[in-house]
Amino acid sequence: MDLLERYLAAVQQELPKEKQQDVIRELKANILDQLDAQQAQAPAQSDEEHLLQVLRELGPPKQIAYQFHPPQPLIRAELMPLFRFTLFMVLGIIFLINLVQSTLLWLGHDQMGLLLLLKHMAGGFIRDAVFAFTAITLGFWAIGQEQKTHCAAQKKWNPLQLPQLNQSWQRIEMGDIFTDLASYLFLLMLIWYPVWGEAAMSVELSMSSRFLLQAFSPLLLLGIAVSLWQLKQRYWTAALLKCNLLLNVLLVSAILMLAWVSPFFIGVPEQLPWMTAEQLERSITISLLIIALFPGWEIIRDWRRLPRL
Amino acid sequence: MTTAQLDKMRLELRRGVLVLAVLSSLKAPHYGYSLRKQLQDAGIDIDEGTLYPLVRRLADQGLLDSEWRQGEGRERRYYQLSEVGSSLLAQLTQEWQQLNKALGPLLEH
């Protein structure tokens, strides 16, 4: 019977404390009944053989404990798509922020090699990603717990509130919303980096570029608000389209203004490992012009869509 | 179709029916092994690893009453339908009969 006690102890180990005593007491009684029946059917076999057969039929301790107490997932199934998008968005932002942090550090230290740059970037990313993953998971767990108590309200939804969409493009993909949201959040964090980031930086934004960027913050907040509006109402209406159009016009103007600012950075060494300071400034201008093409394209798209709504 | 797919679908098909079979068998009091024996005799084979936890879950939901009794020199936990369980069983039986009636002609095609 030592084997039976070992089995019961292994099952007990997998159960929550409040269920252990009761489940094990009952499981033991059931196994003993099963053994009696086995012995009556095949008296020639030894007790050990009977017990082995019964335990094999019951299954491994973990499996039987799982059947008695099925684990509850941390994230509810219906929240999983939103959880995944949020996680990817935040991890993306963290990666970009770390890329910028490390690049600024690299620009200011002409002795810093590529390996050191990668090490700095990877270290920072892993540290921030672990924190973000924990925070997001706990956040979604709390939302799931909250929703459990409001199940009745969800049953009262009115099918007549479903939107009547005449154009296939009116549906907004979740991926598009999160891409926009990630971009606005990233830019906002980047602009205010000198306030929340590591203070000791040898390379900094110039006075005029910093002033312009900080003046654009309300625009980015408007962008975040529009994205959240899209998350709540996942289809284009005339009002939402107009709002997006206005936002993109303002964004293009802001990016173009920024592209003409010179110098963009101060404190950059004349000769960097891979380019000169002048080449760096020129590449920033070109990058900004390319970035302006994205909201520019959305302006043309929304302008053409608006009359069809 | 692979054996694994067939097993999975059989499991899904049996899951709901087993609840009905267990509730129905527990109109009279039974302990774990005697319940399994009764189901087996009726032609429903269910392994212990599934049956015992299922009975406990039904009891946790208030569908079964349970008590420990001494018998044959051993203690056993006996289960029996509670009032809530009886009412649910009546509704489920009606549902099952309707489904069975509707499904019969479909399967004959």
Kindly state whether residue B61 falls inside one of the protein's structural domains: yes
Kindly state whether residue A159 falls inside one of the protein's structural domains: no
Q: Cα separation of B31 and B79, whole Å?
A: 6
SS3 content of chain B, % helix, strand, coil (to 5): 65, 15, 15
Cα-based distances in Å from A84 to A91, A181, A221: 11, 14, 23
A175 and A60 in a common domain: no
- For the question of whether the overall pTM of this predicted structure is more than 0.80, the answer is no
Cα-based distances in Å from A14 to A11, A94, A226, A251, B20: 5, 37, 48, 56, 29
Show which of A68, A93, A126 is a domain's final residue.
A68
Residue B94: which CATH number?
Answer: 1.10.10.10
How many domains does the structure of chain A reveal? Answer: 2
Kindly state whether residue B96 falls inside one of the protein's structural domains: yes
Kindly tell me the number of DSSP H helices and DSSP E strands found in chain A: 13, 2
A177 and A60 in a common domain: no
Kindly state whether residue A239 falls inside one of the protein's structural domains: yes
Q: Cα separation of A192 and B70, whole Å?
A: 73
Kindly state whether residue B8 falls inside one of the protein's structural domains: no
Show which of A16, A37, A68 is a domain's final residue.
A68
- Cβ within 8 Å of B, A 63-92: 63-64, 67-68
CB contact under 8 A, A67 and B77: no
- Boundaries of domain holding A28: 2-68
Kindly state whether residue A295 falls inside one of the protein's structural domains: yes
Q: Do the beta carbons of residue A227 and residue A184 sit within 8 Å?
A: yes
Q: How far apart are the first and last CA of chain A?
A: 77
Q: Report the run of H or E that residue B75 belongs to, with start and end.
A: strand B74-81
Q: Closest approach of chain A CAs to the CA of B5, in angstroms? A: 20
ipTM of the complex: 0.83
CB contact under 8 A, B56 and A34: no
Show which of A68, A96, A126 is a domain's final residue.
A68
Kindly state whether residue A250 falls inside one of the protein's structural domains: yes
pLDDT truncated to tens, each residue of chain A (309 aa)?
689 999 999 999 999 999 899 999 999 999 999 998 888 888 888 888 899 999 998 899 999 999 888 888 889 888 999 999 999 999 999 998 888 888 777 776 767 777 888 888 898 899 999 999 999 999 999 988 887 766 666 667 788 878 888 888 899 998 889 999 988 998 888 888 777 766 455 567 788 888 888 888 999 999 999 999 998 888 999 999 999 999 999 999 999 998 888 888 777 766 666 677 788 888 889 999 999 999 999 999 999 999 988
Kindly state whether residue A90 falls inside one of the protein's structural domains: no
User: Residue B72: which region, alpha, beta or left (left: phi > 0; alpha: psi -120 to 50)?
Assistant: left
Kindly state whether residue B60 falls inside one of the protein's structural domains: yes
How many domains does the structure of chain B reveal? Answer: 1
- Boundaries of domain holding B101: 18-108
